[in-house]
Amino acid sequence: MAARNVVRLWKEGLVGGDKLDLENGQFMKMIPAINNYGALELGNGTLDMDFKVFMGADGSYVWFDSSGKAVTFSGVSLVAEATTISGALTLSGATALTGVITPSASGYMEQKIVDVSANAVTINATHYGAMVKLQNAGVTTVTLPAPAAGNSGAWLEIFSDVAQNQVLGGTAGKLAVTGNLAADTYTLTGAIGACLKVVSDGALWHVTSEIGTWAAA
């Protein structure tokens, strides 16, 4: 079929809402007349459209979102083998990474930082993987969520910017600290620069490192 006829049929299909049916064993292929010539473009930067490819189920797709300027992988695996990624990469949700991630000579893994100026903070997913800086002039109480399968592997660091007796707590008996596997709270003897790291294993929150003087209760 001549190229002009294919284009005409595609235009008619887009206007009329028709679909292109491929039977078992059939395939559609586009080949340039000369290697590395030509391009397949959707939109022109002013008049654009979304592009979505479904992969076996309604919730499994790759979606090129024009208005959001994003590519969403939903319910599918992204396999990048020996791939170089430049610029900012944002990962949301539970993302499993395998293999070795090596920053370039001038690259680095950015540390998330959350500033807390209130006298109390309840930890949630927005704090996971972050250095949580306690900046309130008085004592700040940090409340951890109950350890559960949903937060197993979650961690955060707590850093005191002030010389206050900061209090770490949460579900009674679910803090594992030095000398106590069932602590209710862990309280700092006020010191600027004191800090600790906590990690959930789904059953307990473990204090895996600490600086400063902390006491369990």
Q: What percent of the chain has pLDDT over 90?
A: 59
- Residue 1 clears pLDDT 60, i.e. is over it: no
d(CA 16, CA 7): 14
| Cα–Cα distances in angstroms (integers) from residue 117 to residues 55, 76, 81, 161, 167, in the given order | 46, 40, 43, 10, 14
pLDDT of residue 90: 74
H helices of the chain, in order, are: 3-16
- Residue 116 clears pLDDT 60, i.e. is over it: yes
| 3-class DSSP state of 7 | helix
Q: Assess contact for 145 and 170: CB atoms under 8 A.
A: yes
CATH architecture of residue range(s) 112-216: Sandwich (2.60)
* Band of residue 205 on the pLDDT scale cut at 50, 70, 90: very high
- 128-154, pLDDT tens digit by residue? 999 999 999 999 999 999 999 999 999
Count of CB atoms situated within 10 Å of the CB of 117: 12
Pairing of strands 130-134, 112-116: parallel
More confident residue, 56 or 16: 56
What is the C-alpha end-to-end distance of the chain, expressed in Å?
Answer: 81
d(CA 166, CA 120): 10
Q: How many CA atoms lie within 13 A of 136 on its CB side?
A: 16
| Cα–Cα distances in angstroms (integers) from residue 96 to residues 3, 79, 99, 196, 204, in the given order | 44, 11, 10, 26, 22
Kindly report the pTM of this predicted structure. Answer: 0.65
Kindly list the domain boundaries of the chain, sorted by start residue: 46-108, 112-216
- Its sign, for the CA torsion 30, 33, 37, 43, is negative
Count of CB atoms situated within 10 Å of the CB of 178: 11
Specify whether the backbone of 165 is left (phi greater than 0), alpha (psi in -120 to 50) or beta: beta
pLDDT of residue 16: 62
- 42-63, pLDDT tens digit by residue? 889 999 999 999 999 999 999 9
